[in-house]
Amino acid sequence: MIQQIYAVTAMNLRSIPSRLGTSAVIVIGIAGVVGVMVALLAMGAGFQATLASTGEDDRAIVMRSGSLDELSSVVIREHAAILAEAPGVASNSAGEPLAIGELFMLTNVAKHDAVEPNNVVVRGTTPQVLNLRHEARLVEGRMFQPGVREVVVGIGAQRQFSGLQIGDLVEVREGAWPIVGVFETGGDVHESEIWVDREALVTASRRSAWNSVTVQLEDAASFTTFKDAITSDPRLKLQVQREPDYYASRSEAMGQMITGLGYTVAVIMGIGALFGALNTMYAAVATRTVEIATLRALGFGSVPVVISVLLEALVLALLGALIGGALAYLFFNGYSVSTLNFQTFSQVAFAFRVSGALLVQGMIVACLIGLVGGLFPAVRAARMPVADALRAS
Amino acid sequence: MNKERFGEIDVAETLVRLEGVAKSYRRGNQDIAVLDALNLNIERGDFLALMGPSGSGKSTLLNLVGGLDKPTRGSITVGDARLDQMSGGQLARWRAHHVGFVFQFYNLLGVLSAEKNVEVPLLLTKLSKAQRRKHVATALDVVGLADRARHKPSELSGGQAQRVAIARALVGDPDLLVCDEPTGDLDRSTADEILNLLQVLNRDHGKTIVMVTHDPKAAEAARQTLHLDKGKLVEAQGVAA
Amino acid sequence: MKYLPLVWAALWRRKPRTILTMLSVVVAFLLYGLLTAVNAAFNTGVELSGADRLVTTGKYSITQVLPYGYWQQVKNMDGVEQVTFASWFGGYYQEEFNFFPQFPVDPQSYFDVYSELTIDEDQLRAFVTTRTGAVVSKTLADRYGWSLGDRIPITAGIWPLADGSNSWEFDLVGIFDTRDPAARSQHEYMLMQHEYFDEARQFGQGTVGWFISQIRDPEQAGQIAQAIDAQFANSPNETRSDTEKAFNQSFLKQMGDIGLIIQSILGAVFFTLLFLTGNTMMQSVRERIGELAVLKTIGFSGGSLLMIVLAEALLLTLMAALIGLGLAAFLLPGLAENMPGFSGLALDLEAWITALLLALLLALIVGLPPALRAQRLSIVDALSEHA
């Protein structure tokens, strides 16, 4: 049986070069589907990964109870001081608690080659932030000085927006502040932000309360201790979340929308490609009516004929998937863009991620199209009465 | 060899036996009878030519004998196999081991070389690769094309292609060869060569051959000629044995 | 035209193949219809926004609040006819996923400035006089099954009540709609009384989100915007004013280039399609060389053969395009209901015309090579080859 399938399939595949035009329909059709699908899903995946990779399990973010994000949260200084003393909060070498109350505002910065303003996050923090967010490090220039109106910009923001080089001035509050450094945080969402000294920002914006407090816990397990202490304190109306949970939750709506768009387009395109595949395979079977009938006359069964046609469709589909996946990878992997995350109302720079898992998904879709596209023509080929088919020339 | 072929049953020597075979096709609402209550015995070692006008049913008869088609009524026995009672899959397996086909247009697979074409039926057997190669060489030798083994069908003349097709029919060593207009696409002298080859296979290799042909000269090469008309066998007239 | 039966017969020569090819093209135009409508929905905000309205926000971000007192000052500016304001409430109904905007506003002036909104006069009066009153767009009322008199709970995301609770409740006193159904997606929100909101919230009293001014002469928009911003320059609350159109446009740009992404997808779809349909046409002509040669023998000119083959391609793509667009037009209303913020998703005339031009172009690209082949056909060769 295997040998029969092998023989028929080998014969089919060897004749593909003589049917390049029709075979290309499957390959190119499926390459289109897989390319578009992988590219759109890579966009969704890149966006979600950027937010989901933000934060550490042993850090917590504290906001006003009921706030959906930092922008809409208020934590007054007294409460920030209370929660810094709560059990479970780690201390630095000097014995001070590792907790920073931060301001979270937006300012307008234009993208490269554009003039329209974009909501870029201004985070008012302290130079201590490099100890708290140990993934953050300066890659150029220096840190802002306490109390001074200076700016360090995230490397993602620098790539997406114009005028964010060291020495440039950026409008923060009450005029433009000079950029003195560039930081990176390993590709997470903070790289889309610009950081300034919080006390300088308090003066410039006439705001007194923080938006959120980020704390370093003694270890990941201390989270419950810390959370219970905060939520049971009658003075505080605050909510506590693990950092990764909070940031991941801010990517859901947008991530789902992009992924949903990706699948919808892929399904519709896939149906179109399926019709193309059916056409190709019907044509492939039709041009080989006599060959198939000859083999059947020589004693080949109908199963090897069906399987060989299916295999041919699969091989062509996989070839299409490889081309589509490769194109998506070449053109889009690492391609960085920035969009407005409407859950946080701020710009997030992220890179498309064409992962192995997505490529495998593309292959699966291709195989499905190939299988369905090959099945009906295959069955038709196997059902043709041998005696009639022999005369079909 | 001039035994009476109608009615009388010759158990010892009979390879193919058709009893009361009828075949009809449906075209729209109409049943069209192609063969009607046909009885025929073909002896082992015979070389039978079937002649008759277009639509006489000779190709249908050939297809039934070769196991490509099944009768509407009646029984067909080849050797000890009841073809009329077999399923499509059983027929396919039976064809693989007991019958070789030669077609008017050779029906070689264009993408395969001559020797690969000849090897195709052996893929259905349990023979090893080396054994297959040996059988293929022998078959090509018999048809006199050992030197063309590596050529593609497109590089062969019509006569050569038909020889490859005959080698393919022979390679599984079947008892029965079924030939559908084997010389229909060839010029006179090439056709004669092919007919000579078939005679050699019949005489020296003991193959039973059933051949449909339009060509009286081809029929002359056979030991017997039967005429079909409107689905019935009619007496052979003036055909030399 | 008299060749139509000939072309028609040729088109259906191999029915399954023609149908399958057509279905592929149908799918492509379906996708075109859906994506174009979505793209258009993003842009309607820009197209429908009034050129005679200015939006004044905080200088650095729309999220900065401005003093309520600016309202009177903007009203007094030269060239400004009437002014209203709104704030971002940022709450949600039942769960975060049910997102729609809520704006605390001054009821009377809001409906004065947004004259494209229609509301029953009694309902508007009820909105003005009911402290906890709220009005919603018809699209929202339909989606959530609200009717007048319902009490709608909204959980605050930004503004807690004075006691720190996030649970606000509003009484539905009116349902508004837009004069132009295409503008519905632009006005899919809930409005409540600013006065009540300002008193009841825990902090932020005396501030509003942004001002919307209606100006007398759109030509003056630039100067008036500058004048407003100059008025508040060097104050603790500097402003940034722009036409509503520019404001919406820049907001749209923030999403990244959605149009570009959609065009790339469509580009990939049509490129794929080109191969598919082109292949069918080539096959069809190849099979018919003999027949075409007969036509030529009878006396058909090369030119008319060219036209016959082209007409066949055109017939195929046009029929498929119409079916695909029709399908999209049929599906869009249902789709719009399930996509928050996309009410009024529809195909406009421009989309139809563009699609039909695309079909024409497609027919030319795929039909021309085989048509030329038919035109140049040598009778003798063709007849002997396919005898």
Check pLDDT > 50 for residue B6.
no
- DSSP at A354: -
Check pLDDT > 90 for residue B191.
yes
Average pLDDT over residues A276-281: 86
Question: Do C172 and C296 lie in a common domain?
Answer: no
Q: Which tens digit of pLDDT belongs to each residue from C36-72?
A: 888 887 777 777 777 789 999 999 988 899 999 999 9
How far apart are the C-alpha atoms of C220 and C174, rounded to whole Å?
A: 35
Q: Which tens digit of pLDDT belongs to each residue from A165-212?
A: 999 999 999 999 999 999 999 999 999 999 999 999 999 998 889 999
What SS3 state is found at C191?
Answer: strand
Q: How far is CA C292 from CA A324, B63, C9, C11, C367, in A?
A: 38, 37, 13, 14, 15
Per the listing, tokens 């200088």 go with C59
**Of A163, A177, C276, A298, which Cα lies nearest the Cα of B170?**
A298
Instruction: For residue C342, give the H/E element and its range.
Output: none
Question: Do C16 and C89 lie in a common domain?
Answer: no
Decide: C250 and A336 in contact? Cβ < 8 Å: no
- DSSP at C240: E
- What's chain C's average pLDDT? 88
Amino acid at C294: V
pLDDT score of C1: 58
Check pLDDT > 60 for residue B239.
no
Which of C255, C280, C313 is at the close of a domain? Answer: C255
Check pLDDT > 80 for residue B107.
yes
Check pLDDT > 60 for residue C80.
yes
Assign B7 a pLDDT band (cuts: 50, 70, 90). very low
**Of B144, B139, B150, B142, which Cα lies nearest the Cα of B115?**
B150
Question: Do C199 and C67 lie in a common domain?
Answer: yes
Give the one of A18, A302, A393 whose C-beta lies nearest to B88's C-beta.
A302
Inform me whether the C-beta atom of residue C256 falls under 8 Å from chain A C-beta atoms: yes
Check pLDDT > 80 for residue A14.
no
Helix boundaries (H) for A288-385: 289-297, 302-332, 356-383
Question: Do C72 and C194 lie in a common domain?
Answer: yes
Determine whether the interchain pair A269/C272 forms a contact, defined as Cβ–Cβ distance below 8 Å: yes
Question: Do C275 and C211 lie in a common domain?
Answer: no
Check pLDDT > 50 for residue C387.
no
Decide: C107 and C144 in contact? Cβ < 8 Å: no
Question: Do C187 and C64 lie in a common domain?
Answer: yes
User: What percent of chain B stands above pLDDT 70?
Assistant: 92
pLDDT score of B9: 47
Instruction: For residue B25, give the H/E element and its range.
Output: strand B14-27
Instruction: For residue B224, give the H/E element and its range.
Output: strand B224-229
Give the one of C24, C61, C256 whose C-beta lies nearest to A275's C-beta.
C24
Q: How far is CA A294 from CA A139, A297, A298, B62, B103, in A?
A: 71, 5, 6, 15, 9
Assign B177 a pLDDT band (cuts: 50, 70, 90). very high
Lowest average pLDDT, out of A182-186, B79-83, C11-15, goes to C11-15
CA A146 to chain centre: 36
Provide, as residue numbers in chain A, all residues whose Cβ is less than 8 Å from the Cβ of B123.
3-4, 6-7
Check pLDDT > 60 for residue B8.
no
* Rounded (to 5) percent helix, strand, coil in chain B: 35, 25, 35
How far apart are the C-alpha atoms of B109 and B164, rounded to whole Å?
A: 11
Determine whether the interchain pair B92/A387 forms a contact, defined as Cβ–Cβ distance below 8 Å: no
Which of C255, C285, C307 is at the close of a domain? Answer: C255
CA A115 to chain C, closest CA, distance in angstroms equals: 9
Provide, as residue numbers in chain C, all residues whose Cβ is less than 8 Å from the Cβ of A276.
20-21, 24, 272, 276
pLDDT score of A337: 87
Q: Which tens digit of pLDDT belongs to each residue from A339-386?
A: 888 888 899 999 999 999 999 999 999 999 999 999 999 898 888 888
Provide, as residue numbers in chain B, all residues whose Cβ is less than 8 Å from the Cβ of A3.
123-124
Interface test with A, best of C163, C264, C270, C279 (most A CBs within 10 A): C279
Tokens read off for B183: 């010389």
DSSP letter string, C36-66: HHHHHHHHHHHHHS-TTEEEEEESS-TTS-E
Q: Which residues contact B7 (CB under 8 A, 6 or more apart)?
A: B39
Q: How many CB atoms lie within 10 A of CB C149?
A: 8
- What's chain A's average pLDDT? 90
Assign A86 a pLDDT band (cuts: 50, 70, 90). very high
Determine whether the interchain pair A290/B66 forms a contact, defined as Cβ–Cβ distance below 8 Å: no
Q: Which tens digit of pLDDT belongs to each residue from C322-380?
A: 999 999 999 988 887 776 667 667 888 888 999 999 999 989 988 888 888 888 877 66
Question: Do C32 and C74 lie in a common domain?
Answer: no
Give the one of B60, B112, B168 whose C-beta lies nearest to A11's C-beta.
B112
Residue of A nearest to C101 (CA): A342
**Of C39, C23, C42, C16, which Cα lies nearest the Cα of C327?**
C23
Which of C236, C255, C274 is at the close of a domain? Answer: C255
**Of A327, A340, A356, which Cα lies nearest the Cα of A118?**
A340
How far apart are the C-alpha atoms of C245 and A381, rounded to whole Å?
A: 61
Question: At A328, phi and psi to the nearest 5?
Answer: -60, -40
Residue of C nearest to A238 (CA): C164
Q: Do chains A and C touch (3 or more CB pairs under 8 A)?
A: yes
User: What percent of chain C stands above pLDDT 90?
Assistant: 51
Check pLDDT > 80 for residue B46.
yes
Determine whether the interchain pair A298/B110 forms a contact, defined as Cβ–Cβ distance below 8 Å: no
Decide: C112 and C82 in contact? Cβ < 8 Å: yes
CA A369 to chain B, closest CA, distance in angstroms equals: 27
Provide, as residue numbers in chain A, all residues whose Cβ is less than 8 Å from the Cβ of B121.
298-299
Q: Which residue has the higher pLDDT, B31 or A144?
A: A144
Decide: C134 and C172 in contact? Cβ < 8 Å: yes
Check pLDDT > 90 for residue A300.
no
Amino acid at C268: A
Angle CA(A336)–CA(C32)–CA(A257) in degrees, nearest 5? Answer: 45
Domain range for residue C358? Answer: 3-44+258-385
User: What percent of chain C stands above pLDDT 70?
Assistant: 95
Decide: A54 and A222 in contact? Cβ < 8 Å: no
Determine whether the interchain pair A297/B101 forms a contact, defined as Cβ–Cβ distance below 8 Å: yes
**Of C74, C69, C58, C139, which Cα lies nearest the Cα of C113?**
C74
Determine whether the interchain pair C253/A237 forms a contact, defined as Cβ–Cβ distance below 8 Å: no
Number of alpha helices (DSSP H) and beta strands (DSSP E) in chain A: 13, 12
Question: Do C217 and C295 lie in a common domain?
Answer: no
Determine whether the interchain pair A387/B121 forms a contact, defined as Cβ–Cβ distance below 8 Å: no
| Inter-helix orientation angle A302-332/A2-14, to 10° | 50
Instruction: For residue A189, give the H/E element and its range.
Output: none
Decide: A212 and A193 in contact? Cβ < 8 Å: no
List, as ranges, residues 3-32 from C with C-beta within 8 Å of A. 16-17, 20-21, 23-24, 27-28, 30-31
Question: Do C214 and C276 lie in a common domain?
Answer: no
Q: Do chains B and C touch (3 or more CB pairs under 8 A)?
A: no
How far apart are the C-alpha atoms of B69 and A385, rounded to whole Å?
A: 8
What SS3 state is found at B78?
Answer: strand
**Of C375, B124, B236, which Cα lies nearest the Cα of A298?**
B124
Q: How many CB atoms lie within 10 A of CB A186?
A: 12
pLDDT score of A87: 94
pLDDT score of A66: 86
Provide, as residue numbers in chain B, all residues whose Cβ is less than 8 Å from the Cβ of A392.
none
Provide, as residue numbers in chain A, all residues whose Cβ is less than 8 Å from the Cβ of B69.
385-387
Number of domains forming the structure of chain C: 2
Determine whether the interchain pair C158/A340 forms a contact, defined as Cβ–Cβ distance below 8 Å: no
ipTM of the complex: 0.82
Q: Which tens digit of pLDDT belongs to each residue from C249-293?
A: 888 888 877 677 778 888 888 888 777 778 777 777 777 777 777
CA A309 to chain B, closest CA, distance in angstroms equals: 16
Q: Which tens digit of pLDDT belongs to each residue from B149-168?
A: 999 998 999 999 999 999 99
Question: Do C265 and C250 lie in a common domain?
Answer: no
Provide, as residue numbers in chain A, all residues whose Cβ is less than 8 Å from the Cβ of C276.
25, 28-29, 276, 279
CA C157 to chain A, closest CA, distance in angstroms equals: 5
pLDDT score of B3: 46
Question: Do C24 and C65 lie in a common domain?
Answer: no
How far apart are the C-alpha atoms of A239 and C146, rounded to whole Å?
A: 32
Determine whether the interchain pair A116/C253 forms a contact, defined as Cβ–Cβ distance below 8 Å: yes
Q: Which chains touch A (3 or more CB pairs under 8 A)?
A: B, C
Question: Do C334 and C378 lie in a common domain?
Answer: yes
Inform me whether the C-beta atom of residue A301 falls under 8 Å from chain B C-beta atoms: yes
Check pLDDT > 50 for residue A92.
yes
